[in-house]
Structure 1
Amino acid sequence: MFIEPSLAGGRRGWIEVICGSMFSGKTEELIRRLKRVRIANLKVEIFKPTIDTRYNELNIVSHNENNMAATPIENSQQILLLAQEVDVVGIDEAQFFDAELPFVCDQLALRGIRVIIAGLDMDYLGKPFGQMPNLLAKADYITKLHAICVKCGNIANYSYRKTASNNTVLLGEKDVYEPRCRQHFYEAED
């Protein structure tokens, strides 16, 4: 389904991507931006993948326990159906969504909607994760956040997995992952 830009009602939509490693504050930044949207009395809808049940099944929740109500969805096409007459769409844990998410975000932006997306840019192997590379390519604005390396205190770009699982998707918190700088991430591989 293609939406003509002229149907956007004169509003200009865009795509913002917030990315980084585990514990870098991606969801915290998403929540901060969405709270500001609500202060401006704009209508917002927030979505998360149903797979993400770590803290709460119905809310997006940051590691320091800030949260906002969200709609868990199975696939990105549902966003087009559920985001009617909104000014802003928030999407958390974008790396877990299907291949249609970049198309969905384009369609929302063409409708004049501001789309704010948060997700891991790399998986536990240090490789681009899910649809994040495609979303970064389409983004009008990108914010790359960094955690602090637990080994040396430098900035951390990587999510080091402390368990032996080879599954690309393994939900976890500090019991499973820790932020590491490039040097300590790759030294652990040796």
Structure 2
Amino acid sequence: MKRKSELGGSIEVICGSMFSGKTEELIRRLRRAEIAKLQVEIFKPKTDTRYDEVAVVSHDLNSIPSTPVDHSSAILLYGSNTQVVGIDEAQFFDDELPDVCVKLANKGVRVIVAGLDMDFTGKPFGPMPALMAIAEEVTKVQAVCVRCGGPALYSYRLIENTNKVLLGEKESYEPRCRVCYHTSE
């Protein structure tokens, strides 16, 4: 019987609302891969400069070095010996990201992707639905609703701005459960 590593790569998706621990979980999985002495490459969109222009940084300020890229196709240009690829803030990437992940997985690479599954309007966000559909494993993490303490799956925007993409933190967004999201002030 062939071992899993001989059968090919895989795609894992970590999704949820803002402040749910997606990046924290991504960093945890990538660090475990590094402990296992696997060749790891990490990518994020060049537009994500909230905490650091290069590193992937969680809200708890845990970080791991990464390579910022303008387009998902650039991910294919790095590291021919890479065994594990981590991708953060996947919702900000172009629609070619699922194809890039499939190409990597078909070459035997373990691909771990983290991103928001919904935008602030509660609609599927960017390439995340397609990634979730093709993944071997999907982990949906939840934040805590700041209104009632229940499980939060929505990112409620606190400021008036209708742009789909608005980089921000606690001054701009808060996690809310379904009821509190739909019964906002």
Q: Among 20, 34, 37, which residue is 1:38 paired with?
A: 34
Q: Deviations over 1:102-124 (max 9, x none)?
A: 00000000000000000000000
1:78 is paired with a residue whose SS is helix
- Aligned partner of 1:96 among 77, 92, 95: 92
CA shift at 1:20, angstroms?
Answer: 0.2
Structure 1 segments (4+ residues) deviating >6 Å: none
Which residues in structure 2 correspond to 1:121-160 (within 5 Å)?
A: 121-160=117-156
Q: Give SS of 1:38's match.
A: helix
- Which position in structure 2 is the counterpart of 1:85? 81
Say which of 175, 180, 183 aligns to 1:179.
Answer: 175
Aligned counterparts of 2:87 and 2:157: Cα–Cα separation in 1 = 24
Q: How many residues align?
A: 181
3-state SS of paired residue (2:34): helix
Residues 1:53 and 2:69 aligned together: no
TM-score with structure 1 length normalisation? Answer: 0.93
Deviation at 1:32, TM superposition (A): 0.2
Q: Measure the CA separation in 1 of the matches of 2:32 and 2:91.
A: 24
Identity of aligned residues (%): 60
* One-letter amino acid of the counterpart of residue 156, structure 1: A
Report if aligned partners of 1:21, 1:122 keep a CA contact under 8 Å in 2. Answer: yes
1:74 matches 2:70: yes
Counterpart-to-counterpart distance in 1, 2:79 and 2:122: 33
Aligned 8 A contact 1:18 1:117 in 2: yes
Deviations 1:66-108 (A, max 9, x none): 0000000000000011142110000000000001000000000
1:26 to 22, 26, 38: 22
What amino acid sits opposite 1:154 in the alignment?
Answer: G
CA–CA separation in structure 2 for the residues paired with 1:36 and 1:146: 22
CA RMSD of aligned residues (A): 1.1
Unaligned runs of 5+ in 1: 1-8
Match of 1:183, as an amino acid?
A: V
1:15 aligns with 2:15: no
State the 1:56 CA deviation: 0.2
In 2, are the aligned partners of 1:83 and 1:89 still within 8 Å (CA)?
Answer: no
TM-score by length of 2: 0.96
Q: Distance in 2 between matches of 1:22 and 1:10?
A: 36
